[in-house]
Copies of this chain bind each other. A is one copy, B any other.
Amino acid sequence: MATETTQKQQEFSYIEAISQALDEEMARDERVFLMGEDIGMYGGAFKITEGFLQKYGEWRVLDTPLAESGIVGAAIGAAMMGLRPVVEMQFADFISCAFDQITEVAAKNHYRWGAAVPMVIRAPFGGGIHGGPFHSECPEGWFFHSPGLKLVAPSTPYDAKGLLKAAIRDPNPVIYFEHKFLYRRIKSLLPQEDFIVPIGKADVKRVGNDISVITYGAMVHLALEAAQTLTNEGIDLEVVDLRTLIPLDKETIYSSVRKTSKAILLHEDNKTGGIGAEIAARLAEDCFDCLDGPVVRIAPPDTPVPFSTPLEEFFLPKTGDIITAARKLAAY
């Protein structure tokens, strides 16, 4: 009974991991501060910063006007002067309003005139919550194309905490894609001591020999589920969790595919122009000889995220899709 309690105390949800990372980084480094809509008094639309205003005061937890471009721009300015802003998008979808500041100012300042922009944008993304076309987007594909940005997308509480800390400590602009669907759905033990998950390192979430499923975010859990089912059929999936989308961890990806010779690229982002395309291209370029079959992409169709339940279910990748694709590929 006593040990159970102790263990329970160390088990945290994905959303708690994010709160902890923010709290610990703010306590550790007084340059870290937060900006966003409704993050102060209200504690954020998802309650990630509940209690932060009371703890850190209104100049480190800023409730802002409804103006994403202005907020991100202000974060850039504060970052250049030496602070470490963390901006919350209420939903990742609204990042489109700040697109210009992110791609033209934040991404290019260091390259153009040597000004580092150490800031983080937290973007709660992804579907499965009946959010419809404006509250379910996976906008990461918009940002592959802007050199100077780093993009991360954790799938577990451990990675969520470690990557957010790493992002806050990074001297570059980092977009942190946190998957809303995972917030309260997964839990895991977190170390008590300070730790980071380095940006740019993928993680093999399941070792396997037959097919590499390369994925990130909520889809990691689908891949693990599919792997479970497929063991009975003797198909052994390796699940590579990218964790960082830019810069890509080519080594981990290539060494997995060199071993398995087969790759499934799985994401919740629209198929065309998703990170799956980039990885397929790199495999076809750098790892062509190690491929023993087509590179299969599993991703939603090229449509906005629909609202109604049967539509969203059809839209989102399913465990069954992975199983079917893996069977076909195994037989190739």
Please list the residues of chain A having a beta carbon within 8 angstroms of any beta carbon in chain B: 93, 96-97, 99-100, 103-104, 107-108, 111-112, 133-134, 139, 141-142, 144-145, 147-148, 246, 265, 269-270, 272-274, 276-278, 280-281, 283-286, 288-289, 291, 293-297, 302-304
Contacts and interface: CB of A to CB of B under 8 A. Distances in A.
Contacts of A147: 270, 272, 302-304
Nearest to A102: B96
B281 A145 contact: no
A145 B108 contact: no
Contacts of A286: 294
Nearest to A285: B294
Given A145-B273, A280-B284, A289-B294, 18 more contacts: A104-B134, A107-B304, A108-B304, A112-B304, A139-B145, A141-B273, A142-B142, A142-B145, A145-B270, A147-B302, A265-B281, A280-B281, A281-B281, A284-B284, A284-B291, A285-B297, A288-B293, A288-B295
Given A145-B141, A272-B144, A281-B280, A111 B133 contact: yes
B303 A296 contact: no
A144 B99 CA distance: 15
Contacts of A100: 96-97, 99
B272 A297 contact: no
A181 to B, nearest CB: 20
A273 B144 contact: yes
Q: Across the A-B interface, give the 9 residue pairs with the lowest CB-CB distance, nearest first.
A: A144-B273, A280-B281, A141-B145, A288-B294, A284-B295, A99-B99, A145-B273, A96-B100, A277-B281
A276 B280 CA distance: 10
